[in-house]
């Protein structure tokens, strides 16, 4: 039997593993709540907004189009649980690889995540997602 903390970290790990595998159905059924407060403003994506999880998956699917590999590595989880809500802080780095890029075939993004989860009948689900970019390196625009 997993502790609440272990269950929450499992959902966060699935976020990264399923994103890398482009398992959009898994993200929708096992990771995200139906609607998510989504904030990628540190990447220049505009202010935080509440959007359907399916729109996040569509956005990421389009963003990964043409990439040969995506790899996220996360850790240093700080988890706070209060009844049926939880917050998770995590460090993460993402590597993207595009074989045909002419100005270098890799790029990396290093930063942290602030996640909020709620416990539903299906288990813990992410209902708030904020990415905090610290470093973008390599051929960021894949020219």
pLDDT 10s digits, 80-135: 999 999 999 999 999 999 999 999 999 999 999 999 999 999 999 999 999 999 99
In DSSP terms, 36 is beta-bridged to 51
In DSSP terms, 94 is beta-bridged to 72, 109
- Report the predicted TM-score, pTM, of the whole model to 2 decimal places: 0.96
The domains of the chain are located at 4-138
Q: Does CATH place domain 4-138 in 3.10.450.50? A: yes
At a CB cut-off of 8 Å and minimum separation 6, what does 21 contact? none
State the average pLDDT over residues 74-80.
Answer: 98
Residue 36's pLDDT is what? Answer: 98
State the average pLDDT over residues 40-51.
Answer: 96
Residue 1's pLDDT is what? Answer: 83
Sorting pLDDT into bands at 50, 70 and 90, what band is 27? very high
The count of residues in the chain is 143
**Looking at the predicted structure, is the pLDDT value of residue 143 above 90?**
no
């Amino acid at each position: 039997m997993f502790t609440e903390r272990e269950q929450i970290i499992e959902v966060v790990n699935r976020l990264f593993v399923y994103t890398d595998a482009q398992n959009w159905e898994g993200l929708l059924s096992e990771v995200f709540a139906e609607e998510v407060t989504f904030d990628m403003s540190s990447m220049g994506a505009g202010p935080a907004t509440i959007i359907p999880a399916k729109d996040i998956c569509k956005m990421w699917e389009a963003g990964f189009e043409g990439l040969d590999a995506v790899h996220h590595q996360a850790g240093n989880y700080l988890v706070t649980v209060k009844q049926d809500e939880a917050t998770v802080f995590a460090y993460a780095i993402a590597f993207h690889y595009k074989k045909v890029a002419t100005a270098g075939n890799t790029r990396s993004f290093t930063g942290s995540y602030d996640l909020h989860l709620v416990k539903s009948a299906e288990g813990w689900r992410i209902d708030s997602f904020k990415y905090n970019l610290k470093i973008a390196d390599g051929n960021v625009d894949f020219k």
